[in-house]
Structure formats: structure tokens, C-alpha cells
Amino acid sequence: MKIPQFNSFFQNIFFPLGAFSLATILWLFVISGDQYTMIIDFPIEARNLNAQKTYLKEVPNSAAVMLKGKGRDLFKAFILQKYSGFKLVLDLEGISQEYEFFLNNYFKKNPRRVVLPSSYKLSFVEIVYPNRIKISLDEIMKKTVPVSSNLLISLKDGYTQVGLIKFYPDSVNIVGPKAELDRINNINTIKDTLTNLSDVFNSGLNLILPNRLINCSHTEVQCYLDIQQISERIIVDIPVKVINKVKGIRVFPSPQTVSLTVIGGAIQISKIKSNDILVKVDFNSWSINQNFYEPQVSFPFDILDWRDLSPRTIELGVARESK
């Protein structure tokens, strides 16, 4: 006699009926002593993985298993399946690289690895899906990689970003199969758009892992963006430096100091001192037929711009050192 399958019973009868009919049929099924079959998802537990190895490909979390038993026991299993203790155990001992489990053959040879608590009074029929599971292993590896931004940023008019985006921590440790880690050079934050910023941004951002085979020391990093209002400031008494001077030659820049206007974040430029700015004239460009030279200007950090260098050119006086 063919044993009715409980899943089809649910789909074809329960759902078209009203609440009263549904309750009645459930009650009849629960008190029934007839035998039925039902498909339930069993979690898969892999044991005895080599400590020096990890998965190169993801292993399914569960398999669809057909069970046989009385209606009341199947109903109990269906309702409590998340708390039932059912599971399928795969023994990975001795697997160094690859192995394919043909599930029905494997569990028929190893019936004790189909875990069915005795309180349910059910029997295992077969694995419905998947029919096989291929285990692929690789050497486990640890690597430190930098955090990279995945942000689109726009600022309010009249404001500027001072410095680069900062992450705390700025790098993370990842663990996974060597073949995967060899291809990973950074870990990105989630994609996000920050618009119309006019103040410091300081917030946590989740990290995106390439796949579930990779474990990361952090799931989130702190992101810091320094946003300041744009301002201008005149800086005076900036010393002029002559570089690449020749031994035995004395060089006199005139004037010895200059001034200029810097443009940048208000807080940033308020901290600039005259000695922070390098104004230099390269003596390699000196010619006996030329008196005035345009200096090069550089800053120890990025600013938006500078202008109004005064004076714009430097005169170089040259004399031999007395012996």
C-alpha cells in the first residue's frame, strides 16, 4: 500500500480550506495512527575538519530528508523541526583536498549519522535533495589587508574635505582558503552616498566580505571625514630658501621673506605657521644674465589653493667666499 505524503496533503487540502476546516483536518491528522511520509530540512554538520584546512567551496547548510511515521509524530516534527535536534553528520576525517559524498549511499552505510531523536518515533527514508555534496578543501591562511572606501561624497557649497578619509582600524585581519585570500588586496566598506556634508562625519560603516568562506576580524569600522568651511588667510614672513648651492659660492636671496594667501579649511589654515611653508629657489637655474627667479612653493599637507605671492620673484645676489 502506498504511504500518503504529508507535504502534498498540506498543499492540496489545507490551504484552500477555511480556518475551521483546517483545524479539523489538523486534529484528525494528529490523532491518526496511519503511516505517512514527509520531507523536512535537516541541518548538515561536518565534523573532524583538519585544523590546517578550510573550505574552498561552500557546503550546503541543509538537505531535504524524507521521513516516515505516524501522523501525530510527523506533525510534531514539522512544528518543532527547528528545535528537534535532527541533523545529518558528515565525517571529514582523512579528507585532505577533495571528496564527494553520495548522500543516500553514505547514510545507508552510516545510519547512525542520520540523527533522529527517539522521542519522535520516525524512520529515515531517503535524501531528496541534494543527491551529493562535494567537499573541496584548501590550506587555511591569515592575511592583513587595508580598508577601502566605497562612499560617494558631496559637500555643501563653501565647504571642503580636509585630508583623506580615515578608518579606525585602517586594516583588518581576514582568514580563509589560500586560493581566495591570494586574490584579496583590500576589504571595502558598504556602498553609501553622503550628500550636502557641512560638518565632521564620524560614523560606523559595515564591511563587505567577498563570500561566506572568508572570516574577518571586524564587521564594522569607524569612518572619519573632516569637513570644514572654506576660508582664506594671509601668511607673512615666510623664509626663502636657496637649494643646490655650490660650494665656495655665497647666495643672497632678496627679499629673504615673502607673503602669500592660503585657501582651505578654516581650522586647517588657522594652524599654518610661516615656517611650515617651503618657498625655494633652485640655484641650478641661476644664470649670470638673469637676476630674478620665480620660487617654488610647497606645503606639508594638502590645501585647496594659494595665491598672491608677494613679491612674485626673488633676486639672487651671488659672491665668492673669501679664502
| 3-class secondary-structure state, position 190 | coil
pLDDT in tens, 5-47: 555 444 444 445 555 555 555 555 555 567 888 899 999 999 9
Half-sphere exposure of 318 (CA within 13 A, CB side): 17
Half-sphere exposure of 17 (CA within 13 A, CB side): 14
Q: 3-state SS of 224-293?
A: EEEEEEEEEEEEEEEEEEEECCCCCEEEEEECCEEEEEEEEEHHHHHCCCHHHCEEEEEHHHCCCCCCEE
Helices 19-31 and 71-79, interaxial angle, to 10°? Answer: 120
Q: Has residue 147 been placed in a domain?
A: no
Positions in the chain whose pLDDT score sits under 70: 1-33, 323
The answer to whether residues 18 and 100 belong to one domain is: yes
The answer to whether residues 121 and 236 belong to one domain is: no
Q: Has residue 244 been placed in a domain?
A: yes
The answer to whether residues 18 and 115 belong to one domain is: yes
The answer to whether residues 264 and 178 belong to one domain is: no
Query: Residue 308 sits in which domain range?
Result: 230-320
Taking every pair of Cα atoms in the chain, the longest distance, rounded to a whole number of angstroms, is: 122
For residue 118, what are the contacts with CB-CB under 8 A and spacing of at least 6?
none
pLDDT in tens, 159-196: 999 999 999 999 999 999 999 999 999 999 999 999 99
In this predicted structure, what is the pLDDT of residue 248? 86
Question: Under a CB-based contact definition with an 8 Å cutoff, are residues 101 and 135 in contact?
Answer: yes
In this predicted structure, what is the pLDDT of residue 4? 55
Length of the chain: 323
In this predicted structure, what is the pLDDT of residue 14? 47
The answer to whether residues 223 and 238 belong to one domain is: no
Helices (H), the chain: 6-9, 19-31, 71-79, 103-109, 178-181, 266-270
The answer to whether residues 62 and 20 belong to one domain is: yes
In this predicted structure, what is the pLDDT of residue 16? 52
The answer to whether residues 46 and 70 belong to one domain is: yes
In this predicted structure, what is the pLDDT of residue 74? 86
Q: Has residue 260 been placed in a domain?
A: yes
Q: Rounded to an integer, what is the distance from CA 216 to the centroid of its chain?
A: 8
Number of domains the chain is built from: 3
The answer to whether residues 99 and 121 belong to one domain is: yes
In this predicted structure, what is the pLDDT of residue 33? 66
The answer to whether residues 19 and 96 belong to one domain is: yes
User: What does the alpha-carbon distance between residue 32 and residue 200 come to, in Å, rounded to a whole number?
Assistant: 68
